[in-house]
Structure formats: structure tokens, C-alpha cells
Structure 1
Amino acid sequence: MKDFLIRLVWRIFSGILMVLAVASLTFFLVRMMPGDPVNAQYNQLIMQGMTPVQAENQVKVMYGFIPKEPVGQQFVNYILNLLHFDFGQSISYEGVSVSHIIVSAAPWTLVLVFTGLIASFLIGVLAGVIAAIKRSSPFGTSLTVSGSLLHGIPQFVMGLLLAYLFTTLWPLLPFGAPYDSSIDPGFNWPFISSLFSHAVLPVFTYALSSYGGWLLTMKSSVITVLGDDFILASEIRGLKASTRVGYIAHNAILPLFTLFTLSIGFMFGGSVFIENIFDYPGLGNLLLKSIDTRDYPLMSGAFLLITIAVILSNIITDFLYSIVDPRIRR
């Protein structure tokens, strides 16, 4: 128990250091941007009629520091604001805090990406096991070929292709926006059904573009496990085929467990191309728009969220892996 607590404290401490390192890098990158966006914003506010003091205060609200202060003091103020979860105010969404914008966009991404991630993982892992065990059969070969083809298609191509097929060629599903704008949002069947119908194509696009990677990785892992001694021993002992498949799948899925948990952390970055194609108001679309509008506070907040999510998922993976595979605790 003592070793576990020491390891947990060390992992949390190293995670905090990594977040602070990324935050520091973000601060200096903004300062080094061509044209100095902080001073450019300050000068723009002066031109709009603000006094220097008012412009300084407004820039401090947006970026977390005053451009006229020494760089060291600016950095300290920026870090102190981050420790209070104050990411500043957005430039493109005037008067709205970055935290509020990110919290509003996060549910759309979580529903879209998490649903697609779970679906692609479950189907891809199952197909990978079958493709490995039946690799000499036409069915196993067709599964491998389908995984290779789908894995090689970029997400934006997949999204455009599905949008053309199911909204233009065969107009079966709605396209654009997360729900029908003519329906009043609320806990009612028309709104809920509209949410589901609009989510089908984005979720299916994400699942289909991720499926091939899970299939090929699982197949490779299963083939490696098939050469282990315990598989030969289970065959000699005369265990049922279903039992052997269970042993194979349990051991082969361990490498994918790490990839899956890290993917949960990366999903906070959204799926930029899919959200942009289907006009989904998630974090990926938000990040893209912040880059287009040079909204540096919003951009910094989104990058920090992704960083924190990935680090947390890494820490959780480290401890859950010892539960899934007790061998590493020895």
C-alpha cells in the first residue's frame, strides 16, 4: 500500500510538472508570435477609444497578464491565473470566458468521439481476433483487407464520402448542425430524435475511420500471442476452443488497453475534420475556429485541456494496467 501511494504521489507530481511545462511553452509561444498578438490587442483597444489603463486591464482579462509588465511578472500572473482555472476571455467571443466556451463545447465532442471510439474499439477488436484466428481463410483475409483499406482513408475523405452518399445520393440522413434548428431544445422526443439522427453520420465516420487501426493492431497482437507456450499447453490439455480464444483475447488485448485509454484523453481535442465537415460545435471545431480567428486565449485553453486530459488518462492507465495485468506488479 505504501509503494502504491508513493507511486501515485510521484505520478501526480510529474503530471503537474508536465502541465506547467506546457503552460509555460504556451505563454512564450504567444509572446513570440509574429506581430506580438498581446501588444496588437492592446493597441487595437487604444484605437477603439479606451484609456491605457482600461486597455491594460482588458488585455489582462483576456490573456492573464499586462503587456507593459516585465516578462517575469507577466509569466507569474499567467501561471497564478491558471492555478485558479482562469484561462482569460475569448477575443472572438467578446466578453465570454474561455472556460465557459470550452465547457459548452465539451459535451458535443464527448458524445460524438466517445461513442465512435467505443463502437470502433469493440468491433475492431472482435474483428481482429477473428482475422488472426481465421487468417488462412477467405473471411479472415477479407477482414484484414477491409481494415487496411479503411485505415488508409483520411477522416475528412471518409466524412465527405459518407455525407455525399447518405445526404445527396441517398438523402436518408440530415447534414450539418447537431440538431434541427426549427425544433425547440429540451427534453422532448422531437429534439432527442433530431439529436440522434444528426449524430449518426459523424459518429459513423469516426467509428469507421478508427475501426481499421484497432483491427490491424489486435490481429498483430493475437498472432504474437498464438506463438506463446501457454497456447500450446492449453491445446495439449484439450481445453475447449472457446476457452482458448478467451485466453488469447485476454492476453492480446493488453497492448490495446494502453492505446484505448490514451485515446480517451486525446478525444478532448475532438475530431477537427469530422466536426468541421458536419458543423458540430465541439472542441475540435472550436480549436479550428480559434486558429482561424487568432483567438490566442481560446487556443491556449483548448491546448491545455487536451494536455491535462492526456496526462490524467496516462496516470489512470498506469494504475489500471497493474489491475488488468497483475504480472507487472511483481
Structure 2
Amino acid sequence: MTFTFALYQAMPGGPAEAMRAMILAESGQVGGSVNLDLLNQMVEHYANVNPDKPLHVQYYNYLHSLLIQGDMGTSIYQGEPVLDLILQSVPWTMFIGVYALALGYTVSLFLGAVMAYKERSLFDSVASIGVIFLNSVPYYIFAIILVYVLGIEYSVFPINGRYGTFVDPGFTLEYMSSVVRHATLPVVSMGILATGGALTMRGNAIRVLGDDYVRVAELRGLRRSRVAMQYVGRNSVLPLYTQFMIGIAGVLSSTVVVEEIFAYNGMGKLLYDAVLLHDYPVLMGTLLVFTTITLLAIYIADLTYGYIDPRISTGDSNE
């Protein structure tokens, strides 16, 4: 919250001055007689910051409004509370973000495991080059390619919106299938971000394959599938857990561009439009939510990793 407030105050020309200019432009009073008290009240209404107050007082009022009242201000262009706009957009962004992560990491796990078992083979070499290529090309390039090929050229999937124009929202098969079809291309585009985990999975699996307990399991005559799943796969995937949680930050940041490309009305597009329109209250609110979700995911990963991998522990019962 302190960081967003500092960024807000550090904007060129000052946010209050910029908002004054926008309010005057919207009201058509540029260059005319202006009631400064009324203008400052409007700025305070939109941004929760009174430009007449000292900086430390503005900061206190900002935190008080945010923490006690849950007030993030009002959108200058949409005229709605910022919190309401965010609550309307967050579920859609989390929907495509979670599925993109799940898709990308599922492919990474299976591909990385096969690459490890076929180490130094032709498949391993080709797959490694392919994964490196996917992670070298910006994800939005793939988004544009998918729009052209699957959306425009062959019309397999829709290229804009969250669901069909003539579909009524509700728990119906028509609505849910429309939501899935509209989310397919954004999910695939962002899922490419997570394919880099295949190389990490490959390295982990190769390391585990050389451990003594894997050799003992093979000498005991256990089925190869059981060794692969319970011994190699389970222990190889553990280091990817933290990477998966941190990957939420990458997926959230990618929604800013992907949602604009697909005209998908989520948090990313809300932030993108706020930047273009200089809608400072929305910009501050979305930045705060993005940061909170990212830090919360990393914190959860830090707290739960010891339960997922009991080998990671510190101290003993006496400490």
C-alpha cells in the first residue's frame, strides 16, 4: 500500500494536477472560472487523497480509507467504485490464469519426465530445443498467431469477449461452454509461459534417477511405472511447487497484454485501459490487488512447502 501511494505521488506533474486537468476537460471548464474548493473535493472523491493536505496527512487518510473503509476511490471515466470494478474482473482473470498455469505445468511435468527417461536421445534434444524456443518468443506473439490462425483463418475459437453476445449468463450448458470456448485461446497463450518448467523437471528427474533409493527400488523388481510415479515423479516435482506459486505473478502480468489482444474483460484489461485513460484510482487499485495476490501466493508456498516435502525442515521439537 505504501509502494502504490509512493508511485502515485511520483507520477510526472503530480496525480492531483493531472486529475484536475482531466476533470476540467470533462466538464468543459478549461481556461474559465474554476471553483478550486469544489475541484479539490472532486479530486478527493475520486482518489481518496486531498491535495490541500500535507503529504503525511494524505498518506494517513489513504491508508485509513483503504484499510478501515475498504475504499479504493472512484473511477474517473466509469464513475463506479474501484473496488466494485475489481471484484467484477478478478474472477475472470483468475479463471484463465489458474487454467493457464495448470495447463502449462501439466505439460511441463509429463514432457520433462519423458525427456529425463530418454536423456541424450533425439527426442530429448528436439524437445529441449522446442521448450527453449517457446520460452524465448514473447507469449503475446503466440497470442496474435492463435488469433489469426484459429480465430480468423479457420474460425475454430472466438477471438474476443468472455462469452457469446447472445448467450444469457447462468448455470446452463450453453453459457459454460461459451465461457470455455472464449477462454481457450487466452489460456493457451499464457500457458506457454509455464512450459519452461519442463527443463527444470528434466533436471530434477535426472538427479533423482541417480539416487540410491531409486536403484534399490529397481533392484527389488518393482514395476517401472511404479518407480516412475512414486519414486522419480513425486520427488522430482517437489521443487517445482514453489516455482508454480511464483509463476502466478508471471501469469497475472501476462494478462495485461493477453486480455487486451482478446478483448477479454478482466483485471489485465482493466489495468491496461486505466494506463491509457490515466484513470489513476483504477491504476492504483489494480496494482495493489496484483501485488497482494502475488505476495500471498509466495507466502503460502513458503508456509506449505515443508508439509509437501517433509525433508525440508529446520530445528527440532525442543526449539
Report the TM range for the smaller structure's normalisation.
0.7 to 0.9
> 132, 136, 140: which one pairs with 2:120?
136
TM-score normalised over the length of structure 2: 0.88
Q: Which residue of 2 aligns with 1:261?
A: 245
SS of the residue corresponding to residue 328 of structure 1 reads coil
Write the deviation string for residues 174-233 of structure 1: whole angstroms up to 9, x where unpaired. 2211222233333334333322222222222222x1353121121122122223333333
Tell whether the 8 Å contact from 1:131 to 1:219 is kept in structure 2 after alignment: yes
- Give unmatched runs, 5+ long, in structure 1: 1-22
Residue 207 of structure 2 corresponds to 224
Does the 8 Å contact 1:109/1:282 carry over to 2?
yes
Partners of 1:46 and 1:167 in 2: CA distance: 42
Following TM superposition, the consecutive aligned residue runs of length 4 or more in structure 1 with deviations greater than 6 angstroms are none
Structure 1 residue 267, shift from structure 2 partner: 4.3
Report the more deviating stretch, 47-56 or 302-311.
47-56
Aligned match of 1:242 in 225, 248, 264?
225
C-alpha distance in structure 2 between counterparts of 1:139 and 1:123, whole Å: 15
Quick check: 2:45–2:73 contact (8 Å CA) kept in 1? yes
Indicate conservation of the 8 Å contact 2:193/2:251, yes or no: no
Residue number in structure 1 paired with 2:77:
92
Cα 1:241–1:66, aligned 2, differ >3 Å: closer, same or farther?
A: same
Tell me if structure 2 keeps the 8 A contact 1:59–1:65: yes
CA distance in 1, matches of 2:19, 2:194: 44
Task: Write out per-residue CA displacement over residues 16-71 of structure 1, whole angstroms, 9 at most, x where no aligned residue.
Answer: xxxxxxx2222122222112121232355467467433322222222212001111
Tell me if 1:24 matches 2:7: no
Instruction: Identify which of 187, 205, 216 aligns with 2:189.
Output: 205
User: Offset at 1:170?
Assistant: 1.8
Q: Percent identity?
A: 31
RMSD of aligned Cα (Å): 2.2
**Could you tell me which residue of structure 2 aligns to residue 322 of structure 1?**
306
Question: Given that residues 107 and 195 in structure 2 are in contact (C-alpha distance below 8 angstroms), is that contact kept between their aligned partners in structure 1?
Answer: no
Instruction: Determine whether 1:106 maps to 2:93.
Output: no
1:27–1:240 distance in 2 versus 1, CA, 3 Å = same
Do structure 1's residue 35 and structure 2's residue 13 form an aligned pair?
yes
Aligned to 2:101: 117
Residues paired across the two proteins, number: 306
Matches of 2:194 and 2:245, distance apart in 1: 16
Distance 1:176 1:55, change over 3 A: same
Aligned residues of 2:47 and 2:73 also touching (Cα < 8 A)? yes
Structure 1 length normalisation: TM-score? 0.85
Query: What CA distance in whole angstroms lies between the structure 1 residues aligned with 2:185 and 2:266?
Result: 15
CA distance in 2, matches of 1:236, 1:137: 24
| Gap change, CA 1:72 and 1:187, over 3 Å in 2 | same
Q: 1:273 to 1:41 in 2, by over 3 A?
A: closer
Q: Does residue 66 of structure 2 align to residue 82 of structure 1?
A: yes
Work out the CA distance in 2 between the residues paired with 1:216 and 1:177: 34
Deviations 1:157-188 (A, max 9, x none): 10111111112322222221122223333333
What letter is aligned with 1:66?
N
Amino acid at match of 2:234: H
